[in-house]
Structure 1
Amino acid sequence: MKKFLIIYIIFSLVLLAFIYFFTLIQETNKRTLIVYYELAEEAYETGDLDTFLKYQSIAYQHLYTETNTDYAFHVYHVIAQLDDAYINQFSVFVMPKRAVNHASHVRDSADRTRMILTDVTLDAVIYTTDDDPEYAGYAVSYGIEVIGFYFYAMQLPESRLLRIELFDYDNHLIFDQTVDYVHIDYPEDDPGTLTMGYTRAELETLFDLATYMQPAMIQNITLFLIVDIFIGGVIYYILKHKKDKTADSKEA
């Protein structure tokens, strides 16, 4: 019986560690998503994208802003991280200022919202969302339904003078401007004009996992201990009963 108890205790401790790390990962992912939506809501309500960009980037630089009666357009150069490498992204945010036609579901095939980028120097289209597999079957303007706005983000590995054309749900041209995009070999050639994203310490403060994770951790561990003790007790009783019965049979 002692051998059983030792094995069961070790097994329980392993499961307890698994429950702990599973809960940690689950609540971290949950909190990450919640913070994303909170910052998106803040950006939509204030028209200020700084905290939203700080949350998702290593660094970023504002390139251009334009507003009209229907929309506010914000163009950014973003330094992001992919695995161990830094990448340059060209990002355009479209924020409605009033009710506009947009997709009500993510697979709305009627949505013609898209972006076309033309290299002015080469007089050649270098990017369109219609040819980007990341957007295949995805209604871009559905972002309005989810977070109040939508945005484009694509990797651009070299400097270009870009003409940006944006079209809305009904295929109307809503934005047509030229922006100078300068590639940055980050961090070696940091021009000093970048706004840095959140540090790890700032993200930890923002997530406040200790507060948000504690209830789930207590609940999961308590439930595990109740089940673990119950199952262990039942198994122990069965084994002890079987052992006692065997001993009685031998005595008889």
Structure 2
Amino acid sequence: MKKFMVFYIAFSIIFLVMIYFFTLVQETNKRTLDVFYELADEAVVMGDFDPFIKYQSIAFEQIDEVYTQFYGFHVYHVIAQLDDQYLNQFSVFVIPISDISYATELEDPIDLTGITITDSLTDQLIYSTETDSDYDKYAVSYGIEKLGFYYYAPELEESGSIDIVLDDYSGNPIFSKTYDFTLVEFDPENVGSFTLGYSQSEIEELMDLSSYTQPALIQNITIFVIIDISMGGLLNFFLKKKKL
């Protein structure tokens, strides 16, 4: 009996630790996504994408902002990071300001929304969503359904003059312009005209994890303790009865 109780207590402690870390990871991931959507909502309401980009990037610089009858276009040079490498992204955020057609499902085969980037001097194709396999099954304009806007963030590997053309749901051009894009060898100690993304401490403050993880931890641990004590009591009762 004593050996069983030692084993059961050890098992309970291990399981309790697992519940603690599982809850912590689960709530952290949930809160990370919640903040993402909160900042997306704020971007739509305020017409300002800086906080949304700041949450996800190493650094950024706004290049342009253009409004037409139906859309607002916010253009950024964004520095992202993959492992230990910095990436230069040409990002365009598209927000509708009038009734337009867009995908209401993630997979919409007739959605022709996309971007094409070409070298303005040679007409050589640099990037196109049409040839990007990441968009084979995903409708670009579905972002409007989920976020209130959609955006592109292709990586550019060379400096130069580029022509961009954006097409809508029906494949009609809605925006075209030429930009001079300068590749940046990013240095965190000398960001120049770029704005740094949120620091780790700023993200932690923004997420306010303790306010969200603590109630979930208390709830899950309380449920476990109640079940654990009940199960332990029942097992102890049956073992004693069997011994008799």
Query: TM (normalized to structure 1)?
Result: 0.93
Is the contact made by 1:161 and 1:181 (CA closer than 8 Å) also made in structure 2? yes
Distance 2:191 2:163 in 1: 23
Contact 1:117–1:164 (CA<8 Å) still a contact in 2? Answer: yes
1 CA distance for matches of 2:64 and 2:218? 48
Aligned residues: CA RMSD: 1.4
Cα shift at 1:148: 0.7
Find the aligned partners of 2:4 and 2:44 in 1 and give their Cα distance.
Answer: 59
Contact 1:91-1:152 within 8 A present in 2 as well: yes
Aligned to 1:163: 163
Rg (Cα) greater in structure: 1
Count of residues in correspondence between the two structures:
244
Runs of 4+ more than 3 Å apart: 188-191
C-alpha distance in 1 between matches for 2:84 and 2:11: 37
Q: CA deviation at 1:189?
A: 8.7
Q: Render the CA deviation track for 1:151-209: whole Å, top value 9, x for unaligned.
A: 01111122121101000011111111011111112227945111011111111111111
Percent identity over the alignment is 52
Counterpart residue number, 2:68: 68
| CA–CA separation in structure 1 for the residues paired with 2:3 and 2:79 | 57
Q: How does 1:32-181 map to 2 (within 5 A)?
A: 32-181=32-181
Partner SS for 1:98: coil
AA at the equivalent of 2:150: Y
Greater shift after overlay, 29-38 or 81-90? 81-90
Task: Name the SS of the counterpart of 1:179 in structure 2.
Answer: strand
Q: Does the CA-based 8 Å contact 1:72-1:96 persist in structure 2?
A: yes
**1:154 match: secondary structure:** coil
TM-aligned CA distance change 1:103 to 1:67, over 3 Å: same
- Counterpart residue number, 2:200: 200
Higher alpha-carbon deviation: 221-230 or 82-91: 82-91
SS in 2 for 1:144: helix
**Deviation string for 1:62-104 (max 9, x for gaps)?**
1111111111111111111212322221111111111111111
1:3-56 Cα deviation digits (max 9, x unpaired):
222221111111101000000000011111111111001001111001101111
Distance in 2 (CA, whole Å) between partners of 1:220 and 1:210 is 15
8 Å CA contact retained: 1:64, 1:179: no
Q: Secondary structure at 2:153's aligned position in 1?
A: strand
In 2, the alpha carbon distance for the partners of 1:170 and 1:123 equals: 24
TM-score, structure 2 normalization: 0.96
Contact 1:62 1:77 in 2 (8 A): yes
- How far apart, in 1, do the equivalents of 2:94 and 2:188 lie? 31
